[in-house]
Chains A and B, each alone.
Chain A
Amino acid sequence: MDLLEIRHLSLNFGGIVALKNVHMTVKKGQIHAIIGPNGAGKTSLFNCLSGVYIPTEGEILVEGKNITGLKPHKIARLGIARTFQNIELFANMNVIDNLLLGRHIHMNSGPFSGSFFYGKALREEVGNRLKVEEIIDFLEIEKVRKQLVGSLPYGIQKRVELGRALTMDPKILLLDEPAAGMNVEETEDIARFVLDINEELGMTIILVEHDMGVVMDIVDEITVLDFGSKIANGNPREIQANPKVIEAYLGQDE
């Protein structure tokens, strides 16, 4: 069984068609890329997957369970985590608190035990801090762990956001343009992290990315969207040779 299956997914805003009858499957343990020109519906697809938009038609199945129309916080509990194209960190919290928020679904202390900081709340704070520190080590952001994220440079913020999604311990990690706005070195770092997350932490990754160098190097499978429709699907070599994709997005070598 595929980990994620998308069937006949359509999304309309009034008269505007954002997604049209998209089929897609993602196998467990893979790195899957979604590419396409601007406005092709890549981020809309992510928003449907994480529950921010409710699709007009179609179904999304995670391990055979239908998650279409569920609220985002329910979907998060089913093991889908994501990052955003424009960083959506909690700017007035420090790095540790941002990452601890990722542990929200794995904690369950309420306002009462929190207010008096006894028993469950205390145990959870300390226990989840360990997990957070593991991710901090993994992403090499030890030095900034107590700084407010609003004051951090862009590249580090991207990394913290990735960390926040990782602390959720998801089955599927959605990365919306992880390398956008980064220089060559930072892009390489991110590509390395994506591979490590896939191999060491065993998460299935779906990423939207415009940097074709990164995409072609690290992913197992690619889905190409254009004007809300899927125009191709395959491994990087097939995609690079596909005339439809070349016309719509990749362009011809002169």
Chain B
Amino acid sequence: MAIRSKTFRESYYEDIKLFKTIWIKSWIGLFLMVLAVLPLIGDPYIIYLINISCIATIAALGLNILTGFTGQISLGHAAFFAIGAYCTAIISSRFQVPFWICLPASGVLAACAGLFVGIPCLRLKGLYLAMATMSFGVVVEYVVITWDSVTKGVRGISVPTLNLLGYPLDSNNKLYYFLIVLTALAIIAATNLMRTRVGRAFIAIRDRDIAAEVMGVSLTQYKVMAFAISSFYAGIAGGLYAYVMEYIHPEHFTFLLSVQYLAMIIVGGLGSILGSIFGAVFITIIPEFIKGLAQFLTLLFPAIEDKYDDGWNIAAFGLLIMLFLIFEPKGLSGIWTRIKTCFKNWPYTY
């Protein structure tokens, strides 16, 4: 770790602060300013995409805590997301419960589901754990479809507008600020968690579980805790999703969504908070980007127009993920670190 010259630290507290230099603080300030003015000038569709990215970011942070940091692979993340979404949808539409109860309730309910899955899965690793979590996902999907009296099955549920202290957030532009603030909170909380005692224990379990246990980390306690925290994030994200979409349907929460979350943290960078953000935004935005590119190409070469359909988008998306796995195993956060080091050392490249 290189420290810029003329940087002096006088206490260990200064050494562990998140934003250490005036440079980082100003960059973050600038970024927040851009985010703040974006709804005033941006296209509503772009704002909608950012909203969806925010939700994906919170869910991906959760999965990264479990899979990236603790090393417990999960293919059932969509199930916890669905539990959160349905919790919010049901209690807010039937009982007119306000959001500040709905969202925490969604998180807690999903965390309880996380405990329910985590405890029997304690002894499972790798592929077996992937299978177990995947089957939980299938079970939840099935329950959501068939438990008609509560979830309204395949008819779906309409969700009332989020009401923030008497101020209804009835458009994407209004939801935007709310989501940005919550996402920022989630990011800060995850970052702090990962650099303190609990986070270190998670990483230790991932890297060397036996050594971690001999150092005094209870594998049982921390693996279950990782499951619960991860599901909590997914539950909150699910609740927000219900508010943003205004209508939820079992088809939104299929196995494919779990795979998508896994793709986010792999493309973004396993075991990296920044990676979860990059990955979530990337995976959310890139299909739109591919669509735009395809439209542009059909303008250039009218001959391919009748051959183009949605399948090509999915294929391009898959190809992109494969290329990432091959050429950039550390994901977008790896690229980011390289660029940052490059600027830090400029003009002396050593």
Contacts and interface: CB of A to CB of B under 8 A. Distances in A.
Interface of A: 50-52, 71-73, 75-77, 81-82, 84, 88-94, 97, 100-102, 104-105, 107-111, 114-117, 121-122, 124-126, 129-130, 133, 146-147, 164, 168
13 contacts: A52-B213, A52-B214, A73-B215, A84-B211, A88-B210, A89-B211, A90-B207, A90-B212, A93-B200, A104-B215, A117-B196, A126-B16, A147-B1
Nearest to A109: B197
A105 B12 contact: no
Contacts of B265: none
Given A92-B203, A93-B203, A109-B198, 17 more contacts: A50-B214, A73-B213, A73-B216, A76-B215, A84-B211, A90-B203, A90-B204, A90-B212, A92-B207, A92-B271, A101-B212, A101-B217, A108-B197, A114-B197, A121-B197, A126-B11, A130-B12
Interface in B252-308: 271
A34 B221 CA distance: 34
A114 B207 CA distance: 21
B95 interface: no
A121 B196 contact: yes
B192 interface: yes
A167 to B, nearest CB: 9
A104 B229 CA distance: 19
A111 B12 CA distance: 21
B208 interface: yes
A168 B216 contact: yes
B40 interface: no
Nearest to A106: B216
Nearest to B202: A111
Contacts of B200: 93, 97, 100-101, 104
A52 B193 CA distance: 28
Listed residue (A92, A117, A125, A133) with the most chain B CB atoms within 10 angstroms of its CB:
A117
B333 to A, nearest CB: 13
A72 B214 contact: yes
B144 interface: no
Contact of B208 (A72, A76, A88, A117): A88
Nearest to B17: A117
B201 interface: yes
Contacts of B213: 51-52, 71-73, 76
A107 B196 CA distance: 10
Nearest to B1: A146
B27 interface: no
Contact of B198 (A111, A129, A168): A111
A76 B214 contact: yes
Interface of B: 1, 11-13, 15-16, 189-190, 192-193, 196-201, 203-204, 207-208, 210-219, 225, 229, 271
Nearest to B18: A117
B275 to A, nearest CB: 13
Contact of B216 (A104, A116, A147): A104
Listed residue (A52, A71, A88, A104) with the most chain B CB atoms within 10 angstroms of its CB:
A104
Nearest to A103: B197
B217 A111 contact: no
A114 B16 CA distance: 13
B208 A114 contact: no
A51 B212 CA distance: 12
B210 A104 contact: no
A100 B200 CA distance: 8
A87 B349 CA distance: 33
B192 to A, nearest CB: 4
The 5 closest A-B pairs by CB, nearest first: A76-B216, A114-B196, A105-B216, A88-B211, A115-B189
B13 A111 contact: no
A129 B12 contact: yes
Contacts of A129: 12, 15-16
Nearest to B65: A111
Nearest to A127: B12
Contacts of A116: 189, 192
Listed residue (A73, A94, A124, A168) with the most chain B CB atoms within 10 angstroms of its CB:
A73
B343 to A, nearest CB: 19
Given A109-B196, A117-B196, A129-B12, A73 B217 contact: yes
Contacts of A82: 214
B215 A168 contact: yes
A11 B215 CA distance: 23
Contacts of A81: 214-215
A161 to B, nearest CB: 9
Given A89-B208, A90-B207, A164-B215, A104 B197 contact: yes
Given A73-B217, A110-B198, A117-B192, A91 B211 contact: no
Given A84-B211, A97-B200, A126-B16, A73 B218 contact: yes
Nearest to A165: B215
Contacts of B1: 94, 146-147
A50 B192 CA distance: 31
